[in-house]
Amino acid sequence: MAIGTAILGASGYTGAELVRLLSVVPDYDLVALSADRKAGQGMGAVFPHLAHVPLPTLCRIEEIDFDGIDHVFCALPHATTQGVIRDLPAHVKIVDLSADFRLRDPAAYEQWYGGAHSATELQKTAVYGLPEFYRAEIATARLVASTGCYVATGVTPLIPLVEQGLIDLDSIVVDAKSGVSGAGRAAREGTLFAEVSEGFHAYGVGSHRHTAEYDQELSRAAGRPVEVTFTPHLIPQNRGILATIYVAGEADAIHAALATRFAPEPFVDVMPLGTLPHTRHVRGSNYQRIGVVPDRRAGRTILVSVLDNLVKGASGQAIQNANIMHGLPETTGLLQQPLFP
């Protein structure tokens, strides 16, 4: 029997990607799509590229009958999700795409997000949704906090290196660049075409909230506190994230460790030593590619990691988590090849 599925926040970029990916998967039955500002409209009116797909009319969350829902993808804005998820029926499994449940420590959440968490008991039960590392925990979870795009790009190659003691933990630098869709679909002055086109800028320097996830996951892998230097940038393209990661460690050993660790993984590809990935190589797909290059200075290495922020960095990752939760093949609905050109 198909999994009765609701997507909360279906009128955003990640919600539309969930619909695009799931609408051709018979294992998931899209029963309800919510979008408060667009309630009453058809999905095809909001996203014409989906006009040919038979879908339920967009509605408000309070109009959804959750008795017939087995799974919820929550694609709502940060800080609004916790209250919604807290009130969902206990039988519903949930993958949350916001940052509301990613931090395990309520004090850390309050520090980085400027307010107390309103569902701390539920926060304690959430599993961090990075499937390559938490597959067993995800399989038995009710609530999975799907990893964000910036963090998935960087921590995926870093965790094995930290676990194996191959890099200096006090010298990790992550320099990441994201396409504009990472800022969401809501109209904002800073993401207008004239503000973004022909430009390239850093933001959240030294204080970006996703830094807390880097510290959390790498500290967990190391068994001691780790603090990362992380700087995000906005680049004038629609999709994609590229992270250039600087570490102290030997390139040959780093490459060998990553190639071995990710060889069984369906969506993480470690390229030959010295070969670099481009964001266009993964556009529209759930694949992540990692390149390793020795620095000109002995004992230092540069890693380049790329993914599509709306798929492997958000909606695809969420579906990958849901597949694990429901005992489906992990690749279900996610084997689309990258778009080129």
d(CA 125, CA 82): 13
DSSP 3-state assignment of 132?
Answer: helix
Considering the candidates 149, 302, 303, 310, report the single residue annotated as catalytic: 149
Active site residue 74: no
d(CA 301, CA 109): 32
d(CA 230, CA 246): 11
Q: HSE on the CB side for 239, CA within 13 Å?
A: 24
DSSP 3-state assignment of 145?
Answer: strand
Q: Which residues of 154-168 are buried (b: 16+ CB within 10 A; e: fewer)?
A: bbbbbbbbbbbebbe
Non-local (6+) Cβ contacts of 337 within 8 A are 285
Question: Is 323 in contact with 329 (CB distance < 8 Å)?
Answer: yes
Max CA distance (Å), the chain: 61
Non-local (6+) Cβ contacts of 15 within 8 A are 7, 8, 9, 33, 35, 73, 75, 315
Tokens standing for residue 137: 């925990």
Q: Which amino acid is at 186?
A: A
Alpha carbon 203 to its chain's center:
19
d(CA 254, CA 336): 29
| Phi, psi values for residue 129, rounded to 5° | -90, 60
Residues serving a catalytic function are: 149
